[in-house]
Amino acid sequence: MSEEANWDKLVVGGTVLTMEPDTEPIKNGAVAIADGRIAAVGPAEELLEMAPSGDVLNAGNCLILPGFVNTHSHLAMTLLRGIADDLPLMQWLEGNIWPAEKEHMNRETVRLGTELAAAEQLLAGVTTTTDMYFFGDEVSAVLAEAGMRAVVAESLIGFPTPRCATTEEMLATQRDLLEAYKDHPLITPSVAAHAPYSVQASDLVADAELAEEYEVPMQIHLAETTWEVEKLLEEKGLSPVAYLANLGVLSERTVAAHCVHVSPEDIELLTEFEAGVAHNPVSNLKLASGISPVPALLEGGVKLGLGTDGAASNNTLDLLRDMQLAALLHKGVAGDPTVLPARTMLELATIGGAQILGLADRIGTLTEGREADIICVAVDGPHTAPMYDPFSHMVFAARAADVRHVVVQGAVVVRNRELQTLDRERIERQAREFSENLRPS
């Protein structure tokens, strides 16, 4: 570090959790930002002496850490939040969600739903999100305007969507998105196939080939329910995971959402092909799909991140809630309080998510040279006093409402809990108007 540092911003005064392996919290620490990247991390007093001027973001009484990474979602489904509860997955989809999407989802409503999702997530400390839905170009444009990092895909499914009539059209639309955003600083375009049971084998292969051609992730729902497993076993003689492996679709590019019903053999395949898994505990429990064997996945060497799923099945995009639930859930299921300690859970929500999305060389830790995606979470409330272990506090005591500042690629997008890039009042008003049209009172 030079004696006269030329930094754009300095995040100062909190306890820094870099999330780098084998590192200790830095009390009264600071993170310096230059040209959208982390320029230095260290004691606040030191860094302030080196750069006394510039934009100083006061993070006193906060935890300073990498932004959360949401590895599975359908963003515009915020507009369908609470439309159908207390149903199993296929009844929920076929009887409620797919009909509502057919009638009400278009470019305009997807834009609104994505704006709402971006606002909700940024205020909850999520700096990187994912989307597999419709009108991926519109989704990407909204998230770029919001200053949010994202991995976005146009979904491929075996029946007409609000945008595309055929799978050929869906694949062409995916390619258009890949071309349009291939060099974007915040948006990583990707491909997505809905599930092994809803997409023909030839289309699954075509999607995987597209992901390989453009070197991007392939998102897919996998082994979410016993119904899916039984269907694949009956029709293909293989588990969903083995089916994808047999097709040549499973790879290090795969971001497999759920993996609730996986066997030891499936776990071996996921590890062998270096596939990533997005764990969605709230959605899986709400739909009674089951509980993913996360400790076994981690023990088997599977790459793992956390996801919220869409707000229609969660019913929020609060990744911190999923993190807290996952930590408690797997301790209870295992009957072992040492399972998934707080630091491990926080790793899954940061660097773990970055790894399965192919972004671990850019984000996920507060490391000099990486892009500056940073959140400051206040620990000055009665529910966070006193604090002995900041990792434990972040997972078990903090709430989304405690997120004070959010920085993405060096830009402040939330300052003192105020969105800087989105018109929250207008978005919430339009969302309420949408609900009145969907369900007239």
Q: Is the pLDDT of residue 93 over 90?
A: no
CATH class as words, domain 9-66+362-417: mainly beta
pLDDT given for residue 439 in this prediction: 62
Q: Is the pLDDT of residue 87 over 90?
A: no
pLDDT given for residue 3 in this prediction: 62
Q: Quote the CA–CA distance of 19 and 419 in Å, as a whole number.
A: 26
Q: How far is CA 247 from the centre of its chain?
A: 27
258 labelled ligand-binding? no
pLDDT given for residue 2 in this prediction: 46
User: 285 pLDDT band (50/70/90 cuts)?
Assistant: very high
SS3 222: strand
Q: Quote the CA–CA distance of 245 and 238 in Å, as a whole number.
A: 10
268 labelled ligand-binding? no
3-12, 172-181, 188-197, 330-339: least confident range: 3-12
Architecture of domain 68-356: Alpha-Beta Barrel (3.20)
SS3 23: coil
> Tens digit of pLDDT for each residue in 408-440?
999 999 999 999 999 999 999 999 999 988 763
Q: How many CB atoms lie within 10 A of CB 87?
A: 17
Answer whether 357's CB lies under 8 Å from 276's CB: yes
Across 101-129, average pLDDT? 96
Nearest to 132 by CA among 361, 307, 322: 307
Q: Quote the CA–CA distance of 265 and 275 in Å, as a whole number.
A: 14
330 labelled ligand-binding? no
Largest CA distance in the chain: 68
> Tens digit of pLDDT for each residue in 135-144?
999 999 999 9
Across 354-364, average pLDDT? 99
221 labelled ligand-binding? yes
Answer whether 78's CB lies under 8 Å from 117's CB: yes
279 labelled ligand-binding? no
Q: How many CB atoms lie within 10 A of CB 367?
A: 18
Q: Is the pLDDT of residue 1 over 80?
A: no
49 labelled ligand-binding? no
72 labelled ligand-binding? yes
Nearest to 353 by CA among 440, 280, 291, 290: 280
Q: Domain-by-domain residue ranges, the chain? A: 9-66+362-417, 68-356
Q: Quote the CA–CA distance of 245 and 232 in Å, as a whole number.
A: 13
